[in-house]
Every structure is written in structure tokens, then in C-alpha cells.
Amino acid sequence: MATKKGGAKGDKKGKKPHKNKPTSVKYKHYKIEGDKVNKLRKFCPRCGAGTFLADHKTRLYCGKCRYTEFIGEKK
């Protein structure tokens, strides 16, 4: 009996079922109220509009230029 060399091994048959892609994260940064669109996060002051600051527990951080704003009280 001959064995198959290379290519498909015969264990997978047919097409894979279609999976929907998850929605993009960028839509979570805005909120629509009536006819207005409000941004939920702050833009980076160095990079300008279009670059959001990441929201951590104690700080806001820009991953592009490493700008950091600390939130909360100083000890």
C-alpha cells in the first residue's frame, strides 16, 4: 500500500465555516448622542488629534511618543 507524500494528508475536507471578525476597537473611543459624536478619551498633546492616550489606573499614556500624564494626588 502506497503512502501519500506531501500536500494534504486527507484529514481536512471541505471549506472552513465563516467566522465574523470582531468590531474594531476604535469605535469604543467615541459615543454617539443624537446628531453629535463625542470622544471618550483624550488626544495626545504632542502627537495631535488622532492619537488617543491609553487610560491606565494612575496615568494617561501615549504609546507613540511616550507622553505620560499622572492622575491623582501627590503624596
Task: State the total domains in the chain.
Answer: 1
**Percent of all residues in the chain with a pLDDT value above 90, rounded to a whole number:** 52
Residue 52, Cβ neighbours under 10 Å: how many? 20
Cα–Cα distance measured from residue 66 to residue 48, given in angstroms and rounded to the nearest whole number: 13
Residue 43, in any domain of the structure: yes
Residue 52, in any domain of the structure: yes
**69: three-class secondary structure by DSSP:** strand
Residue 38, in any domain of the structure: yes
- At residue 73, does pLDDT exceed 70? no
- For residue range 34-62, what is the model confidence (pLDDT) as tens digits? 999 999 999 999 999 889 999 999 999 99
Residue 14, in any domain of the structure: no
Residue 34, in any domain of the structure: yes
**DSSP string across 5-51:** -SS--SS--SPPPP-PPPPPGGGGGEEEETTEEEESSPEETTTEEEE
pLDDT, the chain, mean = 85
- For residue range 3-33, what is the model confidence (pLDDT) as tens digits? 666 665 656 678 889 999 998 888 888 899 9
Look up the domain containing 33 and give its range: 29-70
Residue 23, in any domain of the structure: no
